[in-house]
Chain A
């Protein structure tokens, strides 16, 4: 079945260092979304990527969708303590599987030391 693998599960960085989390799918995705969940909070949508090779930026965050639409990454430049949280990728199967079904990665929990 469809699976979205996300690594690493945990990442601890010093403030100012960069951070990257990676997602890989066993099948081609129609799109991929990224969410951030602050400690004690709920997942909040960050961005959606649809096109092969797409790159989008939001301030210090850079999102990429692979050429084969099977992998994606989120890179944060010069992390800040406000970046703390769990980052999830979530992809949709390109085969038009169940309506509205998002396959979530297990998330990467980011800790930033001041």
Chain B
């Protein structure tokens, strides 16, 4: 019974391709997030949705587009992939309006060649 799941776990692709990462949570949480973790372990927030509404939109290239079809799902689509997009992408969720602990998914390791 995985609380926050992501697919795929690994993604290897070439520069210029378009790819999507999917996230689902079965915790009944209202808030979901996307984080990017670089090789130095720095966790950078990218986006956050509360009840399908975008509430955090950090300065990321507009090649990244999140989509929340319902409050249990938050997907991330990336256009025209670049080498610098290589990282681990974590989805997370939290209860209510996001004031409590965050539950992270297992991560998607994206490698752009």
Given contacts A42-B107, A106-B42, contact A33 B56 (CB under 8 A): no
Within 8 Å by CB of B104, from A44, A86, A101, lies A44
Within 8 Å by CB of A100, from B99, B103, B105, lies B99
Which residues from chain A contact B105 at a C-beta distance below 8 Å?
A: 42
B33 at the A/B interface (Cβ < 8 Å)? yes
Are B41 and A100 interface neighbours, CB within 8 A?
no
Are B31 and A107 interface neighbours, CB within 8 A?
no
Q: Which residue of A lies closest to B92 (CB)?
A: A43
- Chain A interface residue number, banded: 20 to 34
**What is the total number of residues of chain B having a CB less than 8 Å from a CB of chain A?**
26
Given contacts A42-B106, A45-B102, contact A99 B97 (CB under 8 A): yes
A58 at the A/B interface (Cβ < 8 Å)? no
Instruction: Please name 16 pairs of A and B residues whose Cβ atoms are closer than 8 Å in the assembled complex, sorted by A.
Output: A31-B99, A33-B102, A42-B107, A43-B43, A45-B103, A88-B43, A92-B99, A98-B55, A98-B56, A100-B50, A100-B55, A100-B97, A100-B98, A101-B56, A106-B41, A107-B41
Q: A43-B104, A99-B31, A100-B98 are in contact. List 15 more A-B contacts (CB 8 A).
A: A33-B101, A33-B102, A41-B106, A43-B90, A44-B104, A45-B102, A48-B101, A86-B41, A98-B55, A99-B48, A99-B98, A100-B48, A100-B55, A100-B97, A101-B98
